[in-house]
Structures are given as structure tokens and as C-alpha cells.
Structure 1
Amino acid sequence: MARFWIGLLLGASAAAVTWAVTDSPHWTAAIGIVVAVLVWFAELILDDLL
């Protein structure tokens, strides 16, 4: 559950930074979702890579 909240916070933070830099809703949504999903599935991805 902690990974969910960390992913949610990091995804929102990345989206906020992207919005401040680009002012594009498409890039903002894409970056926020990608960061959140990568944090949520990091354990599974790292297990496959290592």
C-alpha cells in the first residue's frame, strides 16, 4: 500500500513539474501516469531485470 501512495505522490509531482514547464495537458497526463505506473510496478520490473 505504501508503494501506491508513493507512486501517487511522485506521479502528481512529475505532472505538476511537467505542467509548469510545458503547459500541455497531454504531456502532463502522460508523464504523471508513466511515473506512477513505473513506481507501482518497480518491484516486478526490477525482479525481471535482475
Structure 2
Amino acid sequence: MRRFLIGLVLGASSSGITWAVTHDRGWTAVVGLVVLVLVWVGELILDDLL
């Protein structure tokens, strides 16, 4: 649950920054979802890399 909330907050904030810079809905959605997914699977990726 903790990772979900962190991913949600970071995804929303990165979407907000992207929206402020580009004003493009497509890029905003893509960036927000990518950040959310990377937070969710980041632990698995880091375990494999380390």
C-alpha cells in the first residue's frame, strides 16, 4: 500500500509538472503512468540490478 501511495503522489506531481510545461494531455498521461509504473516495479528492477 505504501508503494502505491508513493507512486500515486510522484505520478501526479510529474504529470502536473509536465502539464505546466507542455499543456499536452497525451504527454501528461504518458509521463504520469510511466512514473507510477516505475515506482511499482522499481523494487523488482533494483533487486535484479544489485
Length-normalised TM-score, structure 1:
0.95
Question: 1:22 maps to which residue?
Answer: 22
The answer to whether structure 1 residue 35 and structure 2 residue 1 are counterparts is: no
Hey, which bits of structure 1, 4+ residues long, moved more than 4 A?
A: none
Question: 2:48 maps to which residue?
Answer: 48
Percent of matched pairs sharing the same residue: 66
Q: Distance in 1 between matches of 2:40 and 2:9?
A: 11
Q: Structure 2, unaligned stretches of length 5 or more?
A: none
Shift of 1:45: 0.6
Shift of 1:15: 0.2
Shift of 1:49: 1.1
Q: Distance in 2 between matches of 1:2 and 1:14?
A: 18
SS in 2 for 1:41: helix
Length-normalised TM-score, structure 2:
0.95
